Amino acid sequence: MTKDRQNDKGRKMTKDKMEYLPIIGIEVHVELKTKSKMFCGCSANHFGVAPNTHTCPVCLGLAGALPVPNKKAIDWCILIGLALNCEINNESKFDRKNYFYPDLPKGYQISQYDQPFCQKGRLVIARSEATKQSLKIATTRNDGSRNDIKTIGITRVHMEEDTGKLVHDKTEASLIDFNRSGVPLVEIVTEPDINSVEEAITYLKKIQQIVRYLDVSDCDMEKGSMRCEVNISLAACGKRLNRPNREKCFLNLPKYKVEVKNINSFKFVKKAIEYEIRRQTEILEAGKIPVQETRGFSEKTGRTFSQRTKEAAHDYRYFPEPDIPPFTNLKSKILDLKSQLPELPDRKMERFIKEYSLSEDNALRITTTLAMANYFEAAVNKNKSLAKQIANLIINQKVDVNKVKPEEIAKMINQQKSNIISDQNYLIKIIDVILKNNSNATADYKKGKQEAVGFLIGQVMRETKGKADAQIVRKILIEKLNY
Amino acid sequence: MLNQVKWDMNLNELSIREALKGLKEKEFSCEELVQACLARIKAVDNKIKAFITVCDKEALAEAEKADELIKSDPQIFEKKPLLGIPMAIKDNFCTKGIKTTASSKVLENYLPVYDATVVKKLKEAGAIILGKTNMDAWAHGSSTETSDFFTTRNPWDLSRLPGGSSGGSAAAVAADMTIFAIGSETAGSIRQPAAWCGVTGFKPTYGRVSRYGVIAMCSSTDSPGPITKTVEDAALILKNLAGKDKHDATSVDRKVPDFKLKDFNIKNLKIGVPQQYFLKDMDKEVIDQIKQQIQFFEKLGAKIISVNLVNPKYSVAVYTVIQRSEVSSNLARYDGIRYGQQRTSFGTEAKRRIMLGTYTLSAGYYDQYYLKAQKARTLIIKDFEQVFKKVDILVSATAPTPALELGAWEKSPMFGELMDILVEASSLAGLPGISLPCGFTKNGLPIGMQIIGPQFSEELLLKTGDFYQEVTNWYKRKPSLSS
C-alpha cells in the first residue's frame, strides 16, 4: 500500500488514478420518407399499417424478383451528404451484404461498401455543448483556430434498404412483417471523434435537426425513423486529467470496440453511454480489456448486456450488386442538388443574429425547426425593427403559431403600439397635473428616493389607462423633477 | 399441303410462321393446334420427359378464347401477333398460378404470384402455355441430368442427353411437342441444347430481354431467349420479347428493331473464324462439318477471315468463379421461411456451387478469385471488341461434341463448363449468339453451328441465320420418334 503523497501545500493527495477518455463513434440510420421503397414501388409507409400489406415480389425476396433503385432516395442521400459537407463520389454502386436472418428475405441486404455516395464530411457542434475536458484533450482533431467549436468527422453517408420487422408473439413464435423490408435507409457514420456523453447527444440532436430541415425524414427516434448505434471504448490518458497528457491518449488508443445497439431515445443514449463508461472503466482498472462485442441496452435496468461477439470484420462477402448498373457522373448532380439545400440551421442562426439583431440564445431557439424559422421571417417581413419582439412572442409561445398567420403578428404589435400615447404635449399636460397633486412624491425624489419616479409614472399610467408611452413619461418626469 | 383433311395434318410439326398462316387463313382452329401438341406430348413425352408440368386444361381453355377472337375480330393478329401459338416454357420462368420449380426439390410445390415479364409479354401477344419444361436444377448444368426430378432424353437418341440447362425446352421443340419454347442462357444453356437437339436457339445480348421473373442463376450473364424450329421464328419471338422493362434495372433502353430478315446480302459479310475455337479434344466430325459450312459461306460470297481470340479455356475459370459467386448469393433467399422447402433439399450440384461461390467471395479470397475473375472478364470483353473491328460476325461450333450419353455429368465436376467452353466467353461479354443445325454425325446426331456478333447485333445474326436456312435444309430434318 503506497503511502499517500502530500503536495507542496501539505494537502493529502489520493493515489493517482488512470484517467480514461471516451472514444465514441456513432452510426445513425435515417429512414427516408419517400413515397415508395428503395427498390420497388411498394409504399414506404409502414407505421401503423396492417402487417404484410405493403409488399411485392421484390421486397419479399420471391424467386425471380429484381431490385430497381429509387432515384429520389438517392438524391436525398446525396442531399444529406452535401448538408454534412461531404465529398460526393463521381462513381458509386450498390453492393450485396450477405448474411442469413429471418427478417432479411433475400439472404442479403443491398447496401454500399467501398464506393458510398458520400464521404469525408464534417459536422460542427458548438463549444458550450462540448465539454472542456474533451476539448482540451482532443484539440488535435479540432479546427485548431477556434476553440468555441468542435468538429465531428463524418466518415461516410450511404444508402441501403431496411429489413423486415420481427415480432414476438405470446406463443413464443416469431412473426415477420415485411412492410418495412426495402424501406430506404441512409446511414451516417462518424469518425471516433466524440469524447463525451454531452457531445454524443449534441451530435445526435444536430443530425436530427439538419435532416428535418432537409425534410427528407421525420427522424424520430421513438418512431424508429432515426436509429443509432454507438461504438464506444476508452483510451488511457495518463494520470491526473487536469494536466492532460494529450499524446498519451492517442498513443494508447483502445484495442477493442464495443457496439451498443437498440437505443430508442436520446435519454437512453445518455444512460447507455454513461453505463458503458462505468462498466469499461471498471474492467480496465482491473487490468483487463473489455470484450469486443455487440451489446444491447435494457430500458428497464438502464444497463447494457452482451448480445454477440463482434469480430473485427464480419465476413459479409460483399460484392458489387449485379442487378443494378453502377452510377457514373454523379458530380453532375451536385449543382442541382446543392440548389435544393435549404439554408442550414447554423447559417440561419448566424444570419438571424446579424440581420435581425437577435441574441445568440434567441437565434438558436428560433431556428430549432425550419418551420419556426420561416414563420419568424414571414412575420418580420419588412418590419425589421420588430424582429426582437416577434422572436420573443414566438419563443415564449405568446402567440399560437398554428392559428395565427405570420403576417398578422406585425399588425398585432403595431396595433398595440398605435394605442400607445406618445404625444408629448398631451402627456406634459397630464404630468403637470400629477406633479401638482403629488408634492410628497416630488419631495421624496428630491431627498434621493428614486422609487418616487416609479410611483409618479404609475400615476400617469393610471390616468391614461395604461396607454401612455412609459419611456417618454419617465423622461419628461425626470426632466421636470430635476429642474 | 395444308389443304389435307384435318385429321391427317400434324399441326404440331408446324413452325410459328406456318401455324400463324394456317390460323389466319382459318385452315384449322387454335383448339386443333393445341390438341395436336397435347396429343404428341401424350404420345412421346413418357420417353423423352421434357415436361415437368403440362397445362392441358388451361391451354385448351385459352385456345377456345383464341378461336373466339379470331372469329370475331379480323384485326386481332395485329394486336396479338402470336395469337393461338402453343409454347413450352423452361421451369425457371415464373408463371402465375402454374407450378414453377427450377427443377429443384426446394421449389417442388412453388406457385408464383406473378408472371415473369417474358411470360407476360408472350401471353399479351396471344401465345398459349402448354407447360413447363425440365432443366438442370437452378440451371446448374449442361445436360439436364442435375434436375432433381428426372433426366430429359434427346429425341434423336433416347440414350443420350438433350444438353442443358434448357434441355427440356430444346427436346420439346425437336420432338414437335410444341411450336416453340422459351429458354434461358447463362453460358450456353440455350445454344448448347439447341445444338444437341438439332433446333435453333437464340441468346440475345445481355439486357435485351428482361430477366424479371427468371429465377436468377448468374445475374450478370442470364439472358432469356427463344428456342425454335427456324431462325425466322426466333426473330418473331425476339421482336415480342425485347425491350426495356421497368422491373429490370439491367434491361437496356434501346429501340427494338423490326428484325426484318430478307434484306440481306452475303457478299457484304465478313465472317471471322477464331482459330482457338477448334479445340484439340473436339469431336472430329464436328470440326469437319463446321469447316464445310465455312467453305459454304465463302462459296456464297462471304469474306472469311481467320482471327485470334483469347483461348476459350481461360474463360472457363473466369466464368466458373463469377457464376458460382453470384449463385451462392442468389440462392440465399431460399431459406424455406416464406416459401419453398428447406435448404437441405438442395441437390448435390447446387450445394457444390453454393460452397464454391461462398468461398470465392469470402474474406481473404475475394481478391484472388472474384476480383481477379472480373478483371479477366474485362480483358475478354476487350478481346471481342478488337476482333469485331475486323469482322462482322464469328462462326464456330456450338459444342465440342454432339450429344453425349446419359451419365456424362457424373464423370466430371466441371462437366458443364467444359461442354460450354465455346460459348462462355461470349456470355461473359454479354454478346448475342445463335445456334443453328448445320449437319449430322454418321450416327445421325445433330451438329450445331453458332454465330456470335457484337452487342445488339441480333438483327445481323438473325439475317445471316435466316439466309443460311434458305440455302440449307438441316433444320427441316426431324428425329424419328415412334408415337
Map grid coordinates 454502386 to a residue: A93
Q: To the nearest whole number, what is the mean pLDDT of chain B?
A: 94
The grid coordinates of residue A322 equal: 449485379
Helix (H, G, I), strand (E, B) or coil at A261: strand
The answer to whether A92 touches A115, Cβ cutoff 8 Å, is yes
Best mutation target, B89, B106, B184, B250, to test chain A (most A CBs within 10 A)? B250
Helix (H, G, I), strand (E, B) or coil at A241: coil
The grid coordinates of residue A135 equal: 476539448
What is the predicted pLDDT for the residue at A173? 83
Q: What is the pLDDT of residues A221-245, one digit of tens each?
A: 999 999 999 999 999 876 654 455 5
| Strands annotated E in A34-107 | 87-88, 95-98
Q: What distance in Å separates the CA atoms of residue A171 and residue A169, rounded to the nearest whole number?
A: 6
Q: Which of A427-441, B64-78, B285-299 has the lowest mean pLDDT?
A: A427-441
Q: Which residue of A has its CA nearest to B245?
A: A68
CATH for the stretch A424-482? 1.10.10.410
Q: Does A98 touch chain B (CB under 8 A)?
A: yes
Note the pTM of the prediction, 2 decimals: 0.88
The grid coordinates of residue B104 equal: 429443384
B348 part of a folded domain: no
B362 part of a folded domain: no
Q: What distance in Å separates the CA atoms of residue B362 and residue B376, rounded to the nearest whole number?
A: 19
| Strands annotated E in B95-178 | 128-133
B391: containing domain: 15-310+379-476
Q: What distance in Å separates the CA atoms of residue A374 and residue A69, rounded to the nearest whole number?
A: 33
Buried residues in A185-204 as b, exposed as e (16+ CB within 10 A): bbbbbbbbbbbbbbbbbbbb
Query: For residue B427, what is the domain's CATH number?
Result: 3.90.1300.10
B20 part of a folded domain: yes
Q: B248–A68: do the CB atoms touch at under 8 Å?
A: yes
Q: What distance in Å separates the CA atoms of residue B134 and residue B144, rounded to the nearest whole number?
A: 7
Q: What distance in Å separates the CA atoms of residue B66 and residue A364, rounded to the nearest whole number?
A: 72
B346 part of a folded domain: no
Question: Which residue of A313, A318, A323 is in closest CB contact with B250?
Answer: A323
Question: CA separation (Å) from A454 to A419, A420, A477, B6, B303?
Answer: 22, 18, 10, 119, 113
Whether the predicted pLDDT of B403 surpasses 50: yes
Q: Does A326 touch chain B (CB under 8 A)?
A: no
Instruction: Answer left, alpha or beta for residue A48, where phi above 0 means left and psi between -120 and 50 means alpha.
Output: left
B278 part of a folded domain: yes
Count of domains observed in chain B: 1
Question: Which residue of A60, A315, A323 is in closest CB contact with B362?
Answer: A315
| Domain segments of chain A as ranges | 15-332, 343-418, 424-482
B358 part of a folded domain: no
Q: What is the pLDDT of residues B443-452, one digit of tens each?
A: 999 999 999 9
Q: How far is B102 from chain A (nearest CA, A)?
A: 10
What lies within 8 Å, CB to CB, of A483 at 6+ separation is none
3-state SS of B395-409? Answer: EEECCCCCCCECCCH
B142 part of a folded domain: yes
Q: B248–A324: do the CB atoms touch at under 8 Å?
A: no
Q: What distance in Å separates the CA atoms of residue B276 and residue B396, rounded to the nearest whole number?
A: 10
Q: What distance in Å separates the CA atoms of residue A46 and residue B149, rounded to the nearest whole number?
A: 41
Chain A contact set for B247 (CB, 8 A): 58, 66, 68
What is the predicted pLDDT for the residue at A239? 65
Q: B117: how many CB neighbours lie within 10 A of its CB? A: 26
Best mutation target, B335, B339, B341, to test chain A (most A CBs within 10 A)? B335
Chain A contacts in chain B segment 31-50 (CB below 8 A): none
Q: Does B337 touch chain A (CB under 8 A)?
A: yes
Q: Does A108 touch chain B (CB under 8 A)?
A: yes
Closest residue by Cα to residue B223 from B260, B258, B255, B252: B252
Cis peptide before B483 (omega within 30 of 0): no
Closest residue by Cα to residue A39 from A73, A64, A62: A73
Residue A470 is which amino acid? A
Burial class (CB in 10 A: 0-12, 13-18, 19+), B364: exposed
Backbone φ and ψ for A426, nearest 5 degrees, come out as -60, -45
Best mutation target, A62, A95, A106, A161, to test chain B (most B CBs within 10 A)? A62
Residue-wise pLDDT tens for chain A (483 aa)? 445 455 455 544 445 677 888 999 999 999 999 999 999 999 999 988 999 999 999 999 999 999 999 999 999 999 999 999 999 999 999 999 999 999 999 999 999 999 999 999 999 987 665 555 555 444 444 445 556 788 999 999 999 999 999 998 888 888 999 999 999 999 999 999 999 999 999 999 999 999 999 999 999 999 999 999 999 999 987 665 445 555 556 666 788 999 999 898 999 999 999 999 999 999 999 999 999 899 999 999 999 999 865 444 479 999 999 999 999 999 898 989 999 999 999 999 999 999 999 998 899 899 999 999 999 999 888 788 888 888 988 888 777 778 888 888 887 777 777 777 777 888 888 889 888 898 888 888 888 888 888 888 888 888 888 788 888 888 888 888 887
B329 part of a folded domain: no
What is the predicted pLDDT for the residue at A172? 80
Helix (H, G, I), strand (E, B) or coil at B131: strand
What lies within 8 Å, CB to CB, of B294 at 6+ separation is B271, B273, B304, B395
The grid coordinates of residue A461 equal: 399610467
Map grid coordinates 440548389 to a residue: A339
Closest residue by Cα to residue B67 from B36, B32, B39: B32
Q: What distance in Å separates the CA atoms of residue B86 and residue A330, rounded to the nearest whole number?
A: 47
Question: Which residue of B250, B337, B361 is in closest CB contact with A317?
Answer: B361
Q: What distance in Å separates the CA atoms of residue B413 and residue B13, rounded to the nearest whole number?
A: 37
The grid coordinates of residue B63 equal: 385456345
What is the predicted pLDDT for the residue at A446? 86
